[in-house]
């Protein structure tokens, strides 16, 4: 008979430190521990025999007038420290360093106004001690159900800690509940590493054995959790405190036994139990050999193929009856042909699922053996945080069903990708990678996570991208999204923004007319601010102003298109990126109120460069100077006759009289004032 002893069984660092600390105080006289130093009756009894007394509660502490008080490994409230000092007692702190760390966290975060949430048994002394270090009222949760029912204001900042001996997987489930609720929460994983390793090892051993023994004090929280974990994996799990509690008769028919112990269990007790089991099981070995030859439910047997039919395989399993493997128990694929897969004379390993199928034959399963082996592979991958590959065999309402060999893994829709995907049917038949984040085959709960791999891959790609790019580099990418103000370009790790103002040297009215999703783009990195990348298509060697001094020298006649207009003039695009001003006074020789009265947007015009200031990127044009000059003869003829009638009429008369007479005549007799004008025109 084989006995598997957990390597992590027994005293952890914190417990050993606390027990050793108390034993060092023995002999001083008046030595007390505030509460049992650890939850193990054997250790506590031994210390009492050596004169160490236990103080329970504040009232009992006040009665002590002299001596040494040792703080237990679970820790105590802050006020207990204050009371010991106020009574001038010697204080020896044996609090586990991992627990002490939690005290500091809740003290600091609660003083900053954060809501403290403690995951653990609210009646456990460790949790009661943590509560006593909070400066505000904390919330204590013991289960996923309590976490689901908890409602906290969304803008409240939360801090979550855990009892050091709390169940690791249960803690992760509670954390996931808080994350799904979207709370602003800081999570401190304060479960002791030794506790986590002890729980994982206990589960692993329990899955391999026929019976499991858990050793520890009845009041030990971490031992109780070891028992619960082992019980889930192995129905024949026994909780004992010492060798006296062990009933060896219960183990007569088992092949493998596992042993683990809580953090407060002395090594001596573990050795006694282990030694007794090994000795007594040696005498049971011969009896167990006969048991091995029997056909029993769940046993793995090997047989030789006697016959292969369309829907079943018949095996010789060296038993009074033959073994039968139906097509359904050979594979999950109903399209296969058994005759193509199996040959007569071949040896097959299968699991007994019925000792009598009704016809006196033993019903066997090949796929369940494969599934168990696959589950072992999944468990190993889970424990080692490995990446697995599997084929998506079903698309369900809530996610994907993935097959790894003959084992099934469920990937919830929220863990398929790092973005929401409404339609998961595209994954059907695909081989995908993922990690196992929850493994409980007994409850048929094997959960995969593909999202974390995508996030890790993107994070690595982003870090690699920012490590190699610099301002001024030319990069290539694909258009991911186009908006009214610009386009987002996927650079392979991060997105860069190509603003509308950087898409061309010229004016761009609508980015969606230029770019489409998936289009490949080569762009210049204009700026990098943290994780923000600004891109540009304005490459310096294509800057139109580089040759503007020749193209648009003063006196050159140029052509352009009216791009926009204002009341004072029109802006003419000579080429993309080069606009010139055509002032309203330079459009025509006659007076024009607004450019829009003679010009229109998009109209092509010809003009002369009258000013060019390259340093300011300003060019002025004139259409007027290209127009022919109009003759002024008509204006001269009209002006000369107007002077002739005045000269003879006023000749020889005083100037004053000449001035007065026309005014009076014009005012009183308008017809006379008009006659000279008409006569002048005729002459």
Kindly list the catalytic residues.
Answer: 126
Report residue 225: phi and psi, to 5°.
-70, -35
Element (H, E) at 622: strand 618-622
Rounded to an integer, what distance in angstroms lies between the CA atom of residue 170 and that of residue 176?
10
Cross-sheet strand order for the sheet of 2-5:
2-5, 256-261, 211-215, 237-240
Identify the three-state secondary structure at position 152.
coil
CA-nearest of 242, 247, 296 to 269 is 242
**How many Cβ atoms are within 10 Å of 386's Cβ, its own excluded?**
12
Spatial contact of 167 and 225, defined as CB atoms under 8 Å apart? yes
Report residue 642: phi and psi, to 5°.
-65, -25
CA-nearest of 533, 680, 541, 552 to 619 is 552
CA-nearest of 327, 329, 319, 328 to 355 is 319
Is the alpha carbon torsion for 165, 167, 169, 171 positive or negative? negative
Spatial contact of 165 and 192, defined as CB atoms under 8 Å apart? yes
Cα–Cα distances in angstroms (integers) from residue 611 to residues 79, 557, 616, 619, in the given order = 86, 12, 12, 6
Q: What are 162's two structure tokens?
A: 């855990």
Return the residue matching tokens 């952890």. Answer: 12
Cα–Cα distances in angstroms (integers) from residue 27 to residues 118, 320, 563, in the given order = 38, 72, 100
Q: What are 154's two structure tokens?
A: 């969304």
Rounded to an integer, what distance in angstroms lies between the CA atom of residue 681 and that of residue 178?
102
Strand pairing class (362-365; 323-326)? parallel
């Amino acid at each position: 008979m084989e006995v598997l002893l957990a390597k992590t069984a027994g005293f952890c660092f914190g417990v050993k430190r606390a027990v050793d600390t108390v034993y060092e105080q023995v002999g001083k006289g008046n030595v007390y521990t505030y509460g049992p130093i650890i939850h193990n009756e054997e250790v506590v009894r031994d210390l009492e025999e050596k004169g160490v007394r236990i103080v329970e509660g504040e009232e009992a502490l006040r009665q002590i007038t002299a001596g040494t008080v040792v703080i237990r490994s679970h820790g105590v409230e802050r006020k207990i420290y204050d009371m010991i000092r106020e009574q001038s007692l010697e204080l020896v702190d044996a609090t586990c360093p991992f627990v002490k760390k939690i005290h500091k966290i809740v003290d600091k975060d609660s003083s900053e106004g954060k809501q403290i949430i403690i995951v653990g048994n609210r009646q456990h002394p460790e949790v009661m001690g943590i509560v006593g270090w909070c400066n505000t009222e904390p919330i204590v949760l013991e289960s996923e159900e309590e976490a689901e029912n908890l409602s906290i204001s969304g803008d409240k900042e939360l801090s979550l800690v855990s009892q050091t001996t709390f169940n690791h997987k249960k803690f992760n489930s509670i954390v996931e509940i808080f994350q799904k609720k979207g709370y602003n929460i800081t999570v401190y994983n304060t479960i002791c590493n030794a506790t986590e390793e002890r729980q994982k090892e206990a589960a692993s051993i329990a899955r391999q054995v026929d019976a499991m023994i858990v050793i520890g004090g009845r009041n030990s929280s971490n031992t109780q959790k070891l028992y619960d974990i082992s019980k889930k994996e192995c129905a024949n799990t026994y909780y004992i405190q010492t060798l006296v509690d062990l009933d060896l008769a219960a183990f007569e028919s088992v092949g493998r036994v596992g042993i683990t112990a809580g953090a407060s269990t002395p090594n001596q007790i573990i050795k006694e139990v282990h030694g007794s089991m090994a000795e007594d099981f040696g005498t049971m070995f011969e009896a167990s050999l006969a048991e091995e030859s029997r056909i029993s439910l769940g046993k793995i047997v090997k047989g030789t193929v006697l016959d292969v039919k369309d829907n079943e395989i018949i095996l010789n399993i060296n038993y009074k009856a033959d073994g039968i493997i139906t097509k359904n128990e050979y594979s999950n694929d109903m399209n296969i042909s058994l005759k193509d897969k199996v040959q007569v004379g071949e040896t097959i390993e299968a699991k007994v699922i019925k000792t009598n199928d009704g016809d006196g034959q033993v019903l066997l399963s090949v796929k369940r053996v494969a599934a168990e082996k696959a589950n072992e592979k999944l468990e190993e991958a889970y424990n080692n945080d490995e990446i697995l590959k599997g084929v998506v065999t079903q698309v369900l309402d809530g996610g994907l069903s993935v097959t790894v060999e003959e084992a099934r893994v469920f990937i919830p829709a929220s863990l398929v990708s790092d973005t929401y995907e409404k339609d998961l049917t595209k994954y059907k038949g695909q081989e995908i990678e993922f990690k196992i984040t929850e493994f409980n085959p007994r409850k048929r709960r094997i959960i995969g996570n593909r999202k974390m791999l995508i996030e890790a891959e993107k994070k690595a790609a982003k870090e690699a991208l920012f490590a190699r790019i610099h301002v001024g580099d030319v990069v290539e990418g694909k258009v991911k999204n186009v908006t009214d103000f610009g386009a987002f370009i996927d650079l392979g790790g991060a997105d860069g923004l190509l603003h509308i103002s950087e898409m061309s040297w010229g004016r761009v009215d609508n980015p969606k007319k230029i770019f489409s999703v998936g289009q490949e783009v080569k762009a210049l990195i204009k700026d990098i601010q943290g994780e923000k990348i600004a891109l540009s298509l304005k490459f310096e060697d294509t800057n139109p102003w580089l040759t503007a001094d020749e193209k648009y020298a003063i006196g050159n006649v140029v052509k352009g298109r009216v791009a926009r207009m204002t009341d004072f003039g029109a802006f003419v695009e000579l080429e993309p990126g080069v606009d010139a001003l055509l002032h309203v006074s330079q459009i025509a020789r006659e007076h024009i109120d607004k450019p829009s009265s003679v010009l229109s947007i998009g109209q092509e015009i010809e003009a002369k460069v009258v000013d060019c200031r390259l340093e300011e990127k300003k060019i002025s044009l004139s259409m007027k100077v290209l127009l022919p000059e109009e003759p002024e003869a008509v204006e001269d003829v009209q002006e000369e006759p107007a002077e002739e009638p005045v000269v003879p009429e006023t000749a020889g008369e005083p100037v004053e009289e000449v001035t007065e007479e026309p005014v009076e005549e014009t005012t009183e007799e308008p017809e006379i004032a008009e006659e000279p004008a008409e006569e002048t025109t005729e002459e």
